[in-house]
Amino acid sequence: MRVLMLAAENAALNGAKVGGMADVLRDLPLALQPHGVAVDMIMPDYGFLAREQQAEFVCDFVVPFDSGHYPLKLYRLPNPLLPDVWIYLLAHEMFVSPGHVIYTQDGPGRPFATDASKFALFCTAVATLLCGGLLPLPERLHLHDWHCGFFSMLRAFEPAYVKLQQIPTVLSIHNLAMQGIRPLTGDISSLQSWFPAMTAMGVKALAPAIDPRYPDCVNPLRAAINLSDAVHLVSPGYAEEVLQSSRPADGFFGGEGLELDLQRLRRCKKLFGILNGCDYSTASPEVSRTQMRQQLNPLAYQALLSKLGYSEFVNSSEMIAQIRLAQHESPQDFLLTSVGRLTDQKMLILRQPWQGGLVLDAILQRLASWNTSARFWLLGSGDAALAREFSEVAARHHNFLFINGYHEQLSSALYHCGDLFLMPSSFEPCGISQMLALKAGQPCLVHGVGGLKDTVEDGHNGFVFHGANLQQQSGALLQTLERALTLFGTSHWQQLVSAAHASRFEWHTSAREYVDKLYSSAN
Ligand code: GLC
C-alpha cells in the first residue's frame, strides 16, 4: 500500500523539527515498511530545506489560489532514512519565514494569520499536483494536524479536486489545542481570500468546517476531523479525554470545543487512540553516567554560547544561568530534570501560586531543605513570558538552572544522567520526553493525563499525580515529589530504574494498529 503523508514537520530533515510531531513523521515510514506500507511525504520547503538537502528539482507548476495563479516549484529527495520512498518539498516565497523557522508567531489580534495562508496554499498545491497527474495517486492520504485541514476542504468542496474523493483519507491529531482558526471573510488571511468560490457556497454547505464557537470562522482542524474517513489521537488516554469538554479553570484540557465531533466519530467507530512509539535502535552512549555528569556544566555552557552566538544582546536568563554555573560544579547528587517547550501545556502547573510563591519555588525549597547539593535543571524554550517567570525563579534559588533554549546534546545528557524526570503537563497527547527518559533508565514524575498515564505507572517506572483542579494538582505534585525523595537511594528506587529501562513503546506495535485500525477502517 502506498500512502502519501502531508505534514508541516519532519525530523528526518535537518531544521524541519519544532515539536514531537516531527519525530513521529521521522519514525513512521520505517515502522510501517515491514507491514507492507510505503510512505511518501510532502511538506513546504520553508525557503531552505530543498537547498540544504540538495533535493532534486522536479518541475514548475501553477496553483490556482487567492483569485490568481501562484507559481510553485516541486523538489524531491529520497527519504534519508529509507531510500525507496520520497520526501517531496514545495517551494514558494509564501512558505518562507525570516530566520529559517517553520512557523510564524502572529500578534494576539491575528492568531495563525501567516501560517494559515501558508498552509492553505500548501494544501492547494498538493491537491493540484495529485489531480494534475504530477504526483501519483496514493492508496491512502494521511493528514497531520490542522495544517492539512484545508486539503480536506478542497477534497470535499471544490469540484476541481473531486478526484481526491476516491482516495480514503485519515487524520492524525497530535495537538488539539492548535486549530488554525481564521475568519471566513474580511482579512487577507481568511477563507474568502484563499478560496473565494468555496466561500460563496455559504456556511450551510461548509458546516463541517465552521468553528462551533465562532460561527464566522473556519476551523481547519475541525474540517479535517469531520471530512476524514478515520481519525486517531496519539495515545489511548488522550483519545478518551478529548471526548469531554475542556474546563481550563479546573486544569482539565479535553476536546477544546470539538468534543461533539469527536464523540460522533467515536460512535461511528472512526476514532482511535494509538500510542506513538519510541526508537530503541540507537546504542546507549559510551561514556559512563559519572563521566556524563561531569560533562553537564561544559554542555550547559555550550548551550548558552550557541544561543548567545545568534543574539545581539545578552538576555537576563543567560546571565543568571551563567552565574549559577559558575557557582557550582556539575551536579553530583540528586538531579531532577525536565526538558520541554515553555508553553502552558507543559508548564501551567509549575506556574501555579503556592504559599506566596509558585509551585516551582516550592519544589526548589523542598529540594534544598532535603539535600543542599540536590539540583533541578530545566531546559526549554518557547513562550517569552514564561521564560521571564522562570528566570525570576532562577534568580531566587541557587539549586535551579534554567536554560532557555533547545540543545540536542544537553537534552540527551539530561535524559541519561538525571535521577528523576519531571513532566507535569496539563495535557499531553502522547509525549516523547518521558519515553526518552525512561529509555535511559530515568524514572519519571508525571501528571496522569493523556500519553503520560499510558506510559508511566506509579510505583513501577515512576510516579503519577492527579488532581481535580489546578490547586489539587499542585498539591499532589508536591506530595508526589516528597514520596519520590523518600524512596530515593532505597532498593525500591533501583527497581524503578530497572523498570524504567525495560519500558518499551515499540513503533512496530503501533504501526500494526495504523494498518489494522486506521488504514483498513478508511476503506
Ligand atoms: C505534540 C504533542 C505531544 C506528542 C507529539 C507527537 O507535540 O504535544 O504530546 O507526543 O505531538 O504526536
Q: Is the pLDDT of residue 397 over 70?
A: yes
Are 304 and 222 contained in the same domain? no
Residues 344 and 412 in one domain: yes
Q: How far is CA 86 from the centre of its chain?
A: 23
- Phi/psi of residue 217, nearest 5 degrees: -130, 150
The 10s digit of each residue's pLDDT in 14-32 is: 999 999 999 999 999 999 9
- Taking the centre of ligand 1 as the mean of its atom positions, its distance from the CA of residue 233, in whole angstroms, is 10
pLDDT of residue 476: 98
Q: What is the mean pLDDT of residues 385-394?
A: 97
* pLDDT of res. 244: 98
All cell numbers assigned to 298: 561544559
- Whole-number Å distance, alpha carbon 21 to ligand 1 midpoint, is 6
- Domain identity same for 271 and 373: no
Contacting residues for 164 by C-beta, under 8 A, at least 6 apart: 127, 130, 131, 141, 154, 155
Average pLDDT (275-293) is 90
pLDDT-derived band at 85, boundaries 50, 70, 90? very high
Cα-to-centroid distance, 519 and ligand 1 (Å): 21
Encode pLDDT of 307-327 as tens digits: 898 888 999 999 999 999 999
What distances in angstroms separate CA 460 from CA 24, 132, 421, one per listed residue?
26, 55, 14
Domain membership of residue 268 (yes or no) is yes
Mutate to test the pocket of ligand 1, among 142, 276, 436, 456 (most ligand atoms within 8 A of CB): 276
pLDDT of residue 522: 58
Residue 208 shares a structural domain with residue 273: yes
Distance CA 256, CA 245 (A): 6
Q: Tell me the pairing of strands 68-79 and 56-65.
A: antiparallel
Q: Residue whose CA is closest, atom 3 of ligand 1?
A: 431
Asked if residue 221 lies in contact with residue 119, where contact means CB atoms within 8 angstroms, the answer is no
Q: Are residues 270 and 295 in the same domain?
A: no
Q: Which domain holds residue 344?
A: 289-504
Question: pLDDT tens digits, residue range 87-100?
Answer: 999 999 999 988 88
Do 343 and 254 fall within a single domain?
no
What cell was used for 80? 534519508
Helix/strand/coil (H, E, C) string of 425-459?
CCCCCCCCHHHHHHHCCCCEEEECCHHHHHHCCEC
Is residue 468 a part of any domain in this protein?
yes
Amino acid letter at 137? L
| Cell numbers given for 151 | 486539503
Going 207 to 213 to 214 to 215, the CA torsion angle's sign is positive
Per-residue DSSP letter, 247? B
The pLDDT of residue 523 is: 58
* Ligand 1 center to 173 CA (angstroms): 9
What mean pLDDT, rounded, does the chain reach? 96
Across the range 101-129, mean pLDDT stands at 95
Query: d(Cα 385, Cα 312) in Å, to the nearest integer?
Result: 19
* Atom of ligand 1 lying closest to residue 450 CA: 9
Q: Is residue 247 part of a domain?
A: yes
Pocket test for ligand 1, best of 5, 17, 175 (most atoms within 8 A of CB): 175
Hey, what's the cell of 289?
553516567
Residue 101 resides in a domain: yes
Q: Are residues 294 and 224 both part of a single domain? A: no
- Which residue's CA is minimally distant from atom 10 of ligand 1? 431
Same domain, 217 and 272: yes
Residue 453's pLDDT band (cuts 50, 70, 90): very high
Please give the distance, rounded to the nearest whole angstrom, from the Cα atom of residue 69 to the centre of ligand 1. Answer: 35
With the most atoms of ligand 1 within 8 angstroms of its CB, the residue from 430, 436, 449 to mutate is 430
The identity of residue 373, as a single letter, is: S
For residues 164-176, average pLDDT: 97
Q: Are residues 514 and 500 in the same domain?
A: no
- Say if 284 falls within a structural domain: no
* Residue of 146, 343, 432 to test ligand 1 pocket, by largest number of atoms within 8 Å of CB: 432
Q: Is 15 helix (H, G, I), strand (E, B) or coil?
A: coil
Q: Are 276 and 262 in contact (CB under 8 A)?
A: no
**Residue 364 clears pLDDT 80, i.e. is over it:** yes
Q: Please list, in sequence order, all residues whose beta carbon lies within 8 angstroms of the beta carbon of residue 224, skipping any fewer than 6 positions away.
A: 143, 146, 148, 149, 151, 152, 171, 231
113 and 244 fall within a common domain: yes
pLDDT at 107: 86
CA–CA dist 392, 145 (Å, integer)? 35
Mean pLDDT, range 273-284, rounded to an integer: 92
Instruction: Quote the cell numbers at residue 344.
Output: 502552558
- Residue bearing cell 517506572: 461
**Within a domain: 119:** yes
- For position 318, which CATH number holds? 3.40.50.2000
Judge residue 295's burial from the number of C-beta atoms within 10 Å of its C-beta, 0-12 exposed, 13-18 middle, 19 or more buried: middle
> Is 296 in the same domain as 272?
no
Q: Count up the domains in the chain and report the number.
A: 2
- Is 80 exceeded by the pLDDT of residue 283? no
Looking at the CA of residue 432, tell me the nearest atom of ligand 1. 10
Distance (Å) from CA 487 to ligand 1 centroid: 30
Which residue has cell 517567570?
389
Residue 87 sits in the same domain as residue 129? yes
Q: Flag whether 282 is in a domain.
A: no
What's the mean pLDDT in 159-168? 97
Looking at the CA of residue 172, tell me the nearest atom of ligand 1: 12
Ligand 1 atom with minimal separation from the 238 CA = 9
Cα(358)–Cα(402) distance, integer angstroms: 15
Q: Is the pLDDT of residue 414 over 90?
A: yes
Average pLDDT (124-137) is 98
**Which atom in ligand 1 lies closest to the alpha carbon of residue 234?**
12
Q: What are the Cα distances from residue 490, in Å, to 135, 422, 456, 480?
A: 60, 20, 20, 16
* Residue found by looking up cell 531543605 in the block: 369
pLDDT band at 59 (very low <50, low <70, confident <90, very high): very high
Residue 176 contacts by C-beta under 8 Å, 6 or more apart in sequence? 221, 233, 242, 255, 256, 258, 429
> Which ligand 1 atom lies nearest to the CA of residue 23?
6
Average of pLDDT values for 116-121? 98
Say if 54 falls within a structural domain. Answer: yes
Ligand 1, residues at Cβ distance < 6 Å = 19-21, 24, 174-175, 234, 276, 428-432, 451
Question: Would you report the helix, strand and coil content of the chain in percent, each value rounded to 5?
Answer: 45, 20, 35
**CA atoms of 372 and 393, how far apart (whole Å):** 17
Closest C-alpha to ligand 1, atom 5: 20
